[in-house]
Structure 1
């Protein structure tokens, strides 16, 4: 069985890699980090011109009509450079939510604009530090009016539309529904939030009777959002693998350049062990990510388990590689001038972007228990 990508997918990977190498170097990441820019508009424009924002959108809605695997290769390359763009929010979350739950009219209205990069989308779930669940979501939708606060919302300050998890008054899991809202309308305010990674903005969105439309059937929001998160977990795992691998190579290159007591520090056993541990964790994450990609592409029966395993292992690999990259660089790795911080910041941010490790472990264990009991 061939678990590798096709020649066409590898060609896409090379094209994206070349573009990002040319247009999204560390100077661009630092520019966004140190300025008031909310994202790298020049890089985003280039991704749009390549058609990547419409990668998995069907052709009848203005997209390229490709699939989940193509998004995997794009995600990995974006992760390699810690790209400061709203790709995951708009493509992995908002676009996929509309594809899954939107009515035909909603798809016709929003998907062509998302594909063309005319608008940016996001998914608004959390309402503070509590994990979103049927018990914690208080934002409500009544009579087409949305009321409540969502925070933190990824790329919320620059997004034009948001798919919002709302309480529509049912019981248990049936209490939640999805709604779509245009963020330039009345009754909406945005507040920028500070996070560990300013190159990927987050905001608080406050709704006070804002006009919104129901997406999907009422009471199906919790099931729908978990299905969206399963797909996003796989794509984010590829993004994390890409970032982790870059951190590993940064550490390796520095270990070969830096001399201490007349020897390359890479010749010391402690450094060798660090690099070997990074490699092992990354390869484990890559294996899980490839299996998750296969399940996602084929809509396989083990998608939930595969997505959770990819999410957990990729998060652990990225955090470990980013931390050890700083340690390998020694004192200079902690300075503001060092580029090691870009990957540490992104690793920490992505670790919570789709829910905590605890959420994904519980999802994995629950699914395995249910399958074993069947």
Structure 2
């Protein structure tokens, strides 16, 4: 079985890399980091929207390009390499996939074309504070077609136009779609370790909501959405981890100490080798996840969990060792190492922490072996 990408997909990757290296540089990322009033880089966002990438995995009948999930994985990796300060993942990985998975035909026809053309920015609002969201402990409630409650933190919640929200619905939980530009919704930006991806508290007070999928099926749908997003996030993490290794390797060849490049020292060689091994393990698991995602295989839950765990570990390790390889320079504001460390820490807790995904992986394997 060949898990590698096709020639067309590799061409897409190469072209996406050229475009992003020119249009989404470190300066574009730092512009958001340095300005407290910027939630994202709107110039970069408009250029990405213009490339049509938001519609890569959206069928043509809903205004997308109809390429497929593998192409979206390729794009995700390239966005991760440049730390794109845009709400791409919230719209394409979560909101669009939720619609594709559980939306009615009317919802798909109305909303997916807007996701594809960038006029709609989507997000997913699940968390209600510290700890894992589980069945029975959701406080935000649905009643009479409206919802009331609070979600915190919501990635890109300050700039999103629509949200998929997990709510208490009678004795169970459901997912609903909420237009965030209405009087029953209030938002407050919150500060995080990674300001180039904005977050917010969203409060609902009698906000109109439309059911997504079947009533009471929210937790099951959320698991499926997270499995799909996990693979895409793993590719974004893989892109960042790969760039960290490249940065460390380049610096090790250039930095001279005591008359020789530091890359000749055994300690540095071991750092680079360990980064490479973890990245390759992450890549293998990400490719397995991409296959399961694109083919809708029964193995998707375990493949997604494995990809998520391996990618989170690889990105955190690579970002940390990149700083260490740069030595005293690595800790400075001027060097870009900390930008990747911030993003690594953020992505590791999106859609659940590594501990949550490890538990999911064990559960999936146990279920498979029963």
- Indicate whether the TM-score tops 0.5: yes
**1:337 aligned to which of 315, 334, 339:** 334
Q: What is the distance in 1 between the residues matched to 2:249 and 2:18?
A: 22
Task: Give CA deviations for 1:193-240 in whole Å, capped at 9, x if unaligned.
Answer: 111110001110000000111111001110111101101110111111
Look up the match of 1:258: 255
Quick one: which of 272, 286, 291 aligns to 1:294?
291
2: CA distance between counterparts of 1:360 and 1:130? 14
Q: Which residue of 1 aligns with 2:110?
A: 109
Query: CA separation in 1, counterparts of 2:82 and 2:330?
Result: 18
Structure 2 CA distance for aligned equivalents of residues 328 and 2 of structure 1: 35
Q: Is the 8 A contact 1:130 1:136 kept in 2?
A: no
Q: Counterpart of 2:164 in 1: which secondary structure?
A: strand
Aligned: 1:192 with 2:203: no
Match of 1:344, SS state, is: helix
Pick from 345, 350, 358: which aligns with 1:353?
A: 350
| Equivalent runs, 1:270-309 vs 2, <5 Å | 270-309=267-306
* Equivalent in the alignment of 1:234: 231
Assess if the C-alpha contact under 8 Å between 1:192 and 1:201 holds in 2. Answer: yes
Does 1:82 find its partner at 2:83? yes
Shift of 1:55: 0.8
Q: Distance in 2 between matches of 1:150 and 1:214?
A: 18
Where does the alignment leave 5 or more consecutive residues of structure 1 unmatched? none
Distance of 2:77 and 2:226 partners within structure 1 = 17
Quote how far apart the aligned CAs of 1:182 are: 0.4
Post-superposition offset of 1:336: 1.1
SS at match of 2:160: coil
Moved more, 3-12 or 194-203: 3-12
Corresponding residue of 1:145: 146
1:20 and 2:30 correspond:
no
* Structure 2 match to 1:160: 161
Stretches of structure 2 lacking an aligned partner (at least 5 in a row):
none
- 1:136 aligned partner: 137
SS of aligned partner of 1:353: coil
Cα distance in 1, alignment partners of residues 131 and 167 from structure 2:
15
Q: How does 1:52-67 map to 2 (within 5 A)?
A: 52-67=53-68
* Distance apart, 1:162 and its partner CA: 0.2
Structure 1 stretches of 4+ moved >3 Å: none
TM-score, structure 2 length as denominator? 0.98
Partners of 2:254 and 2:276 lie apart in 1 by: 19
TM score, norm. by length of structure 1: 0.97
Match of 2:180 among 171, 179, 183: 183
2:150 counterpart SS class:
strand
Q: Aligned-pair distance for 1:329?
A: 0.7
Report which stretch shifted further, 135-144 or 339-348.
135-144
- RMSD, aligned CA: 0.8
Counterparts of 1:106 and 1:186 in 2: how far apart (Å)?
Answer: 22
Alignment of 1:3-14 (within 5 A): 3-14=3-14
The answer to whether 1:215 aligns with 2:202 is no
In the alignment, the residues of structure 1 paired with residue 310 and residue 194 of structure 2 have an alpha-carbon distance, to the nearest angstrom, of 21
* Distance in 2 separating the partners of 1:41 and 1:136: 37
